[in-house]
Amino acid sequence: MQHAITAPLKVEQVNLPGSTLGISTKAMLIGLVTIGAGFLLDLMAGPKGLYHFAHAYLLGYFFCLTIALGALIFVCLQRLTKAGWSVVVRRLAEIVAGTMPALAILAIPVLVFMHQLYPWTHEELVANDAILLGKSAYLNTPFFLVRVAIYFAVWIFISRSMLSLSVRQDDSGDLALTHKAERLSAPAIILFALTITFAGFDLLMSLDPHWFSTIYGVYVFAGSMIGFLSVAILGVKFLQSRGVLRDVVTVEHFHDLGKLLFGFTMFWGYIAFSQFLLIWYANIPEETIWYEHRMSHGWGWVSLALLFGHFVLPWCGLLSRQVKRAEKGLVFWAAWQLVMHLVDMYWLVMPALNLAHGQEGGPGYAPAVHSGFPLHVLDALCVLGFVALFVGLILRSMRGVSLVPLKDPRLGEARAFHNF
């Protein structure tokens, strides 16, 4: 039974200072230049280089996309459940999700490099492969483009509506806006569930077009939530270091974010284990091949790193209440999980590079050519470039926007929030 805190907020608590906003342009420039440098580098490496660049670009891109998607579903869930505690961090999530139009533009290179990424775009290969022929009603270039357009249309619509409903309330304080956002959230979550699932199938699962798993969409969702929650914890800490959100987001809110991070770490482990166990146990070659690629030729170490680094260690680390409430402890594990989320994405995308190389030349669907572990400077350039670009995009969207929903009817409740 806490009584709402209604004391007014100071400007420096809610608006990012100009000095920090200034970083955004620089960060975006650095990001673009880094990715561009990667592209030039791959041109020098010959035709194979283009393959590597395409995959590295997809890796960096999908990493940022999952974070934005995690933010989007976070906003919808908080709206749907009429949550009180999360109001103070909801604006950050709205802003991260609000970068969706920019992410849609950044998806264009993925479509340009489709041929290098997706074996099912090779026409003669499909013609000679009964399985791919059977899927060609779904896996074909025009339909793929239409689907990607639909996904982004849905995401842009939801994220921009949520952001605008929330920002408009900052001025008017109109309660109808809260109702509107809550009413939108339920259908939005359904649309979100379908789009993130099929986006996962299309952009990642079809890298190996023979393979399939019904749980894949849930897996992508679990990873997205880990990605976003880590970013939220790190982001709020960063903003607080710049003076914003101080005394608004308290240790209680960090504790809750930490609990959610802990919960989704467990959820990710549960989903990953379910998928692995069922495929391992049934031992059907057409399914096990996907894990075979990820458990041999050096990839076994990455798989183990995921098991321990993305689940066992952070689970143990975040178990304790003290750690979740300790400033350094939570930041450490959030940063750790963000890096491990990147490793997870790397683990999903990069083994397909060998498969893509295998399709070069031959008319039949060739098994992956293992050239060992394809770690390359391109990966680093694309990932770092995307991180810089994404940070810049987010900071840029903070211009002129209050970082706290100032007139949200539940703000007082959120500020007074205490864990039991």
With contacts defined by CB under 8 A, name the span among 5-13, 64-72, 98-106, 275-283 that binds other proteins.
275-283
CB 150 within 8 A of CB 85: no
Q: Does 296 bind other proteins (CB under 8 A)?
A: no
Amino acid at 27: A
DSSP per-residue codes, 235-287: HHHHHHHTTTTTTTS-HHHHHHHHHHHHHHHHHHHHHHHHHHHHHHHH--HHH
Q: Does 328 bind other proteins (CB under 8 A)?
A: no
Distance CA 166, CA 173 (A): 10
For other proteins, the closer of residues 19 and 214 by Cβ is: 214
| Radius of gyration, alpha carbons of the chain | 22
Q: Which of 147, 163, 145 is nearest to 74 (CA)?
A: 163
In the complex, minimum distance from the CB of residue 241 to other proteins, in angstroms, rounded to a whole number: 29
Q: Does 313 bind other proteins (CB under 8 A)?
A: no
Q: Does 212 bind other proteins (CB under 8 A)?
A: yes
Distance CA 322, CA 330 (A): 9
Binds other proteins (CB under 8 A): choice among 70, 84, 235, 405: 84
Handedness of CA 15, 17, 20, 26 (dihedral sign): positive
In the complex, minimum distance from the CB of residue 349 to other proteins, in angstroms, rounded to a whole number: 19
In the complex, minimum distance from the CB of residue 201 to other proteins, in angstroms, rounded to a whole number: 8
In the complex, minimum distance from the CB of residue 158 to other proteins, in angstroms, rounded to a whole number: 16
Q: Does 420 bind other proteins (CB under 8 A)?
A: yes
For other proteins, the closer of residues 14 and 414 by Cβ is: 414
Contacts of 115-124 with CB under 8 Å at 24 or more apart are: 116/50, 116/51, 116/53, 116/54, 116/55, 116/356, 117/54, 117/55, 117/58, 117/207, 117/352, 117/356, 118/206, 118/207, 118/209, 119/209, 119/355, 119/356, 119/359, 119/365, 120/206, 120/209, 122/359, 124/363
SS3 call for 80: helix
**Site for other proteins (CB under 8 A): how many residues?**
50
Question: In Å, how far are 93, 107, 181, 189, 334 from 96, measured between CA atoms?
Answer: 5, 17, 17, 17, 17
Q: Does 7 bind other proteins (CB under 8 A)?
A: no
- Written as six digits, the tokens of 119 are 């074996």
Provide the mask over 162-191, with x wherever binding to other proteins is found by CB under 8 A and - wherever it is not: -------------x--xx--x---x---x-
Question: In Å, how far are 191, 281, 290 from 146, measured between CA atoms?
Answer: 16, 37, 27
- Written as six digits, the tokens of 185 are 């959230």
Binds other proteins (CB under 8 A): choice among 37, 41, 156, 193: 193
Q: Does 273 bind other proteins (CB under 8 A)?
A: yes
For other proteins, the closer of residues 276 and 373 by Cβ is: 276
For other proteins, the closer of residues 395 and 411 by Cβ is: 411
In the complex, minimum distance from the CB of residue 130 to other proteins, in angstroms, rounded to a whole number: 8
Q: Does 217 bind other proteins (CB under 8 A)?
A: yes
Token look-up 């109109």 returns 174
In the complex, minimum distance from the CB of residue 131 to other proteins, in angstroms, rounded to a whole number: 5
Q: Does 361 bind other proteins (CB under 8 A)?
A: no
In the complex, minimum distance from the CB of residue 85 to other proteins, in angstroms, rounded to a whole number: 8
Q: Does 213 bind other proteins (CB under 8 A)?
A: yes
With contacts defined by CB under 8 A, name the span among 155-163, 194-202, 364-372, 376-384 that binds other proteins.
194-202
For other proteins, the closer of residues 184 and 381 by Cβ is: 184
For other proteins, the closer of residues 82 and 399 by Cβ is: 82
Provide the mask over 276-295, with x wherever binding to other proteins is found by CB under 8 A and - wherever it is not: xxxxxxxxx-x---------
- Written as six digits, the tokens of 362 are 């031959």
For other proteins, the closer of residues 139 and 248 by Cβ is: 139
Q: Within positions 128 to 157, which residues make up the interface with other proteins, using CB under 8 A? A: 130-131, 134-135, 138
Distance CA 119, CA 203 (A): 12
CB 217 within 8 A of CB 262: no
In the complex, minimum distance from the CB of residue 277 to other proteins, in angstroms, rounded to a whole number: 5
Interaction site with other proteins (CB under 8 A): 1-4, 82, 84, 130-131, 134-135, 138, 175, 178-179, 182, 186, 190, 193-194, 197, 201, 210, 212-218, 259, 266, 270-271, 273-284, 286, 409-410, 413, 420
